[in-house]
Amino acid sequence: MARILIVDDAKFMRMTLSNILSKVGHFVIGEAENGKEAVDLYRNLNPDLVKRDITKPVLSGLDAVKEIKKEFPFATVIMCSAMGQQKMVVEAIEAGAKDFIVKPFDEIRVLDAIHRALN
């Protein structure tokens, strides 16, 4: 199973994702509230996968993906967005994100995206 870093400014969303992932045996090795924390934690924890929100305070999701991919080209990142953020999703995929999940989360969609990204 994968070691996953969850990045979202909403504690409820981090907890929801953590519960979904833990139920199927993944390990949530860290949580971050913003892009800067995400980059710092990525450096320290070297997770198998990062699930992060597109719009974040301090360092945007897109900028954080670019920074992580620049330093760790083989990093696996899945973006999360609300409906109506398609332009940002396309930019995130172009920056190196493997997939995206639309809020509100559908458990099957979350697990499918993670499975595809890791294989």
* Domain CATH number, residue 15: 3.40.50.2300
Give the mean pLDDT of 34-51: 93
pTM above 0.85, yes or no: yes
pLDDT above 70: residue 27: yes
Across the chain, mean pLDDT equals: 88
CA distance linking residue 77 with residue 94, whole number of Å? 12
Structure confidence at residue 45 (pLDDT): 96
Total domains in the fold of the chain: 1
pLDDT digits (tens, 9 = 90+) for 64-105: 888 999 999 999 999 887 766 677 778 888 989 998 888 888
Range of the domain at 48: 3-79+97-108
pLDDT above 90: residue 47: yes
Cβ atoms of 52 and 79 closer than 8 Å = yes
Asked if the structure places residue 7 within a domain, the reply is: yes
DSSP string computed for 4-34: EEEE-S-HHHHHHHHHHHHHTT-EEEEEESS
Share of residues in the chain with pLDDT > 90 (%): 54
CA distances 93 to 11, 20, 62, 65, 89, Å, are 25, 23, 9, 9, 6
CA distance linking residue 59 with residue 56, whole number of Å? 6
What's the one-letter identity of residue 103? Answer: K
